[in-house]
Amino acid sequence: EPAQIGIYGLGTMGSALALNLAEQGIRVAITNRDSDWIAPFLDRAGALAGQMVPADTLAEFVAALASPRIVLFMIPSGAPMDAMLAEIVPLLAPGDIVIDAGNADFNDTRRRTRELAPTGLHFTGMGVSGGEAGARHGPSIMVGGSKSAWTALEPILTRIAARYEGTPCVARVGPDGAGHFVKTVHNGIEYADMQMIAEIYGLLRDGAGWEAPRIGALFADWDRGPLHGFLTEVTAKTLVARDPATGRPLVDAICDRAGQKGTGRWTVIEALKLGQAAGVIGAAVDARVWSAQAGLRQCAEERLSPGAGSFDPLPAGALEQALIAGRLVTLVQGFEELAAASGEFSWELDLAGIARIWRAGCIIRSDLLHPLIGALGQAGPLPLAHPLPALLAANVAPLRRVVAGAVGAGLPVPALAAALGWYDSIRRARGSANLIQAQRDFFGAHGFARIDSPGSHHGDWGER
């Protein structure tokens, strides 16, 4: 019996997806670059192996698939994907669908879509979120590709996706690179959320002397309130975990250098290219860069004064509200970037629909998406759409107190401060950029608009 879909790449995510598909009764062909991985994987699959068609070679793999063939690659993004396309394309026929389900750069996805168009293949860039557990039991899936590819994929993906109150968290968000772009922005938001959480952890640890489990208990408490969401839960659980070797909190034994594979950085790069500001995400990427400069920080702790002061432990409720405000600002920035990309690439993204497929399965799933979905359903600028202004107003005063306290104590809160910087900038009808315009005109004769007469003007700046 032919397989309905083939998975190439039996790493953590590919294996988990194959098991998920099999469990949903979908016959799945499997293969891997190193075919030695296949037998142990089938052993692990147990009864689910009955739904799998193992293939040692690419030719066998393709031959195992029903037509039109659906081939899903879960392999490292970048050059390996181009290499695999070069190998598999000659084996496929017009109408077949090739999915890149990794965290690809959407620019690559657009290029590959263009390059493969003459072959009649449907190249599909698919964002899959939720880590291993998500892939195994229900990820959030963001599909970018042709409508006809979606017609073939929808019945399969709907069965394996996460469900939010019964609704599958999967959608075709747009053509070509749209799915990977949406996944990239998802990850940017993930970076910012994680960074703001780490900043609050740092304030409590370094400013107020709290032990990890006590901070974990606070996050567990927050997970029962408006901050309810996957990353809040993960934070609570990681902070209370013990190192079996020492009995001490495991988090205390972990080096403070954050890794990054690129999606957070891409979110910032693409925001800048689109003329958008993703400041909170940018701060989160900066913070990961600084975290990696461990040698410098080691020396600088002794040489760059003054050392950190103590942080007056604000009521935990203020920290909770500061995090709510910061996360709302991040969501607004992320969705403004999506809106800008939608316009630039004519994707017609359904922004509220994207927020809806993030309600389950993905890493940034959280209750704060609910007010955002309400706001995205309204006309006008997102930060002013009900209920965001009231929610921001209710939580921004604590954010200000937290940032002020941290700054006063010399404790770093770059992402929380970036969120506040955005808020304080956009709520001023008259900002200070009139001076920037004056400076630009002074040294470059760039011209400026006047408040009292139309057109472009120059100043008489005197001696230059």
List binding-site positions for substrate.
103, 129-131, 186-187, 191, 261, 288, 440, 446
Please identify which residue in 190, 193, 199, 223 interacts with ligand 6PG, judged by CB under 6 A: 190
Each as own residue / partner, the long-range contacts of residues 344-349 (CB below 8 Å, 24 or more positions apart, any chain) are: 344/274, 345/110, 345/174, 345/176, 345/177, 345/178, 345/181, 347/173, 347/174, 347/175, 347/178, 347/181, 348/174, 349/173, 349/174, 349/178, 349/182
Give 267 or 342: the residue with its C-beta nearer to ligand 6PG: 267
Name the minimum Å distance from CB 13 to ligand 6PG. Answer: 8
Site for ligand 6PG in 230-259 (CB under 6 A): 259
Does 195 sit near ligand 6PG (CB under 6 A)? no
Q: Are strands 140-144 and 70-73 parallel, antiparallel or unpaired?
A: unpaired
Is residue 77 a contact point for ligand 6PG (CB under 6 A)? no
Q: Residue from 261, 386, 427, 450 that binds ligand 6PG (CB under 6 A)?
A: 261
Token digits for 64?
């195992």
CB atoms within 10 A of CB 455: 7
364: CB partners within 8 A, 6+ apart: 129, 186, 189, 190, 193, 229, 230, 231, 358
Which residue do the tokens 């900002």 mark? Answer: 431
Which C-beta is closer to ligand 6PG: that of 191 or that of 222? 191
Identify the active-site residue in 183, 199, 270, 320: 183
Residue closer to ligand 6PG, measured from CB, 16 or 402: 16
273 classed as catalytic: no
Spell out, one character per residue from 3 to 42, where the chain touches ligand 6PG: x when CB under 6 A holds, - when not. ----------------------------------------
Least distance between ligand 6PG and beta carbon 271 (Å): 16
Q: Which is nearer to ligand 6PG, 51 or 184 (CB)?
A: 184
Q: Characterize the bridge pairing of strands 122-129 and 140-144.
A: antiparallel
Residue whose beta carbon is closest to ligand 6PG: 129
199 is catalytic: no
- CB-wise, 176 or 190, nearer to ligand 6PG? 190
If one asks whether residue 263 binds ligand 6PG (CB under 6 A), the answer comes out as yes
Q: Confirm or reject binding of residue 320 to ligand 6PG (CB under 6 A).
A: no
Long-range contacts of 88-92 (CB under 8 A, 24+ apart): 88/8, 88/58, 88/62, 89/116, 89/119, 89/121, 91/58, 91/59, 91/62, 92/62, 92/119, 92/121
Distance of CA 107 to the CA centre of its chain: 16
- Write down the least CB distance from residue 225 to ligand 6PG, Å: 24
Give the contact letters, 111-150, x = binds to ligand 6PG (CB under 6 A), - = no. Answer: ------------------xxx-------------------
Q: Per-residue x/- mask for ligand 6PG, residues 327 to 366, rule CB under 6 A?
A: -----------------------------------xx---
> Which amino acid appears at position 453 of this protein?
S
Size of site (CB under 6 A) for ligand 6PG? 13
Both structure tokens of 269: 């790069």
**259 or 307: whose CB is closer to ligand 6PG?**
259
Tokens of 234: 């993960």
Instruction: Name which position in 24, 107, 158, 260 contacts ligand 6PG (CB under 6 A).
Output: 260
Hey, which residues are catalytic here? 183, 190
Q: Which residues bind ligand 6PG (CB under 6 A)?
A: 103, 129-131, 187, 190, 259-261, 263-264, 362-363
